[in-house]
């Protein structure tokens, strides 16, 4: 048996949607982008949504659109794109530690690092579990800070009925490993009317009105750049896939939750004294974009990974090295984060995707049990 780390959840509807776009002749940023944006803002509950070619582009745009200059607090326990966006925008990333149970940013560590140079907080919702956003927003409002949610891994998770990405400015990823995919792609959600034009300009060469929106203008060819922008746009081919994926999102998340709860129960029964499974106090808080176990003994981690891979189970680690220990950031911002550094040595990401079969789930449990019996 061979189990990949992840597998997309698609059928003929995505294929038909792509063919429709190809047949239409409009392949670039266009009507399917608008359809996906309307779907997404309706789902998440924000006034605005804007498609991007990646979550990394959305993160950078969020910082630039708010014209932030100063320090931005974020966890080091994230993908490097989070910190890259801060650095590329000319701000300073301030890495802080995480909660040892949820692996999300520590509220206490945020508060300890706020000073007169702090302009924003970038909480990262890790592996599908939403951060303590109500408390983070309370802290941000107290200090007049912008909140940019890195929601790349948490499409559909809620806290007290409110979606990740709707508390502050939300940045989402549609990479193939995420809850839904467009192949490559991302999306920005926000409620601030004052940055709509700037978001459009940053992602479209500095031009506020996209090509498709200019089609009915008298001078449709007139393109005036109001700032030096980028090309962060999503093609309509990608957006068409996203439109169909959005229709499956609740089903996808429900299957991820079902598989994860099953693994929780089985692993706790057979090796509960050897590892800690990913839990949440409310199933709505976690959509299990990844299923990450934490070993009690760090010395077991690499050996278990090898055992899983030898048995054709596509396990991995998210994330090692953590960002503050990566070459560029380590040299520029040397820091020690005790909890983060400990956790990165003890975690394993097991395969998690909607199409997992019962025998595949049982096979993973069996092989982990087999390892510890040795």
pLDDT in tens, 168-186: 999 999 999 999 999 999 9
Q: Tens-digit pLDDT profile for the chain (374 aa)?
A: 999 999 999 999 999 999 999 999 999 989 999 999 999 999 999 999 999 999 999 999 999 999 999 999 999 999 999 999 999 999 999 999 999 999 999 999 999 999 999 999 999 999 999 999 999 999 999 999 999 999 999 999 999 999 999 999 999 999 999 999 999 999 999 999 999 999 999 999 999 877 656 556 656 667 889 999 999 999 999 999 999 999 999 999 999 999 999 999 999 999 999 999 998 989 999 999 999 999 999 999 999 999 999 999 999 999 999 999 999 999 999 999 999 999 999 999 999 999 999 999 999 999 999 999 98
pLDDT in tens, 5-63: 999 999 999 999 999 999 999 999 899 999 999 999 999 999 999 999 999 999 999 99
Query: By the 8 A CB rule, do 155 and 178 touch?
Result: yes
User: Architecture of 249-373 per CATH?
Assistant: Alpha-Beta Complex (3.90)
Locate the domains of the chain by residue range.
12-246, 249-373
Q: What residue ranges in the chain does DSSP mark as E strands? A: 48-52, 71-75, 92-96, 118-121, 146-150, 158-159, 162-163, 169-173, 186-190, 275-276, 291-295, 347-350
So which residues are the catalytic ones?
A: 178
Query: By the 8 A CB rule, do 149 and 133 touch?
Result: yes
For residue 13, how many C-alpha atoms fall within 13 Å in the half-sphere facing its CB? Answer: 9
Give this prediction's pTM: 0.96
Q: What is 12-246's CATH number, 3.20.20.70, 3.40.640.10, 3.20.20.105, 3.20.20.120? A: 3.40.640.10
């Amino acid at each position: 048996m061979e189990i990949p780390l992840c597998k997309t959840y698609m059928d003929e509807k995505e294929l038909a949607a792509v063919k429709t776009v190809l047949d239409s002749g409009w392949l670039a940023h266009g009507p399917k982008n608008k359809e996906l944006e309307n779907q997404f803002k309706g789902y998440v509950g924000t006034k605005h949504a804007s498609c991007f070619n990646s979550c990394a582009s959305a993160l950078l745009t969020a910082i630039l659109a708010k014209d932030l200059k100063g320090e931005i607090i974020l966890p080091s326990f994230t993908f490097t794109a989070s910190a890259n966006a801060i650095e590329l925008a000319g701000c300073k990333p301030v890495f802080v530690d995480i909660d040892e149970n949820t692996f999300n940013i520590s509220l206490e560590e945020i508060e300890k690092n706020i000073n007169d140079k702090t302009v924003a907080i970038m909480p990262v919702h890790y592996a599908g579990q939403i951060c303590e956003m109500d408390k983070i927003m309370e802290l941000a409002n107290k200090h007049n800070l912008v909140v940019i949610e890195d929601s790349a891994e948490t499409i559909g998770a809620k806290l007290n009925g409110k979606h990740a990405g709707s508390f502050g400015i939300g940045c989402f990823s549609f990479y193939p490993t995420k809850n839904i995919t467009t192949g490559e792609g991302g999306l920005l959600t926000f409620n601030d009317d004052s940055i709509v034009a700037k978001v459009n300009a940053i992602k479209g060469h500095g031009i506020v009105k996209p090509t498709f929106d200019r089609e009915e203008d008298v001078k449709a060819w007139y393109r005036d750049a109001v700032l030096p922008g980028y090309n962060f746009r999503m093609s309509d081919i990608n957006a068409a896939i996203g439109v169909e994926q959005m229709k499956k999102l609740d089903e996808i998340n429900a299957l991820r939750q079902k598989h994860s709860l099953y693994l929780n129960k089985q692993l706790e029964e057979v090796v509960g004294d050897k590892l800690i499974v990913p839990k949440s106090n409310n199933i709505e808080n976690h959509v299990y974009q990844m299923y990450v176990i934490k070993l009690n003994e760090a010395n077991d981690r690499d050996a278990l990974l090898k055992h899983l891979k030898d048995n054709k189970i596509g396990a991995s680690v998210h994330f090692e090295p953590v960002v503050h220990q990566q070459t560029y950031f380590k040299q520029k911002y040397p820091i020690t984060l005790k909890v983060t550094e400990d956790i990165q040595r003890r975690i394993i990401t097991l395969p998690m995707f909607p199409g997992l079969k019962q025998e595949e789930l049982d096979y993973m449990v069996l092989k982990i049990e087999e390892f510890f019996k040795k």
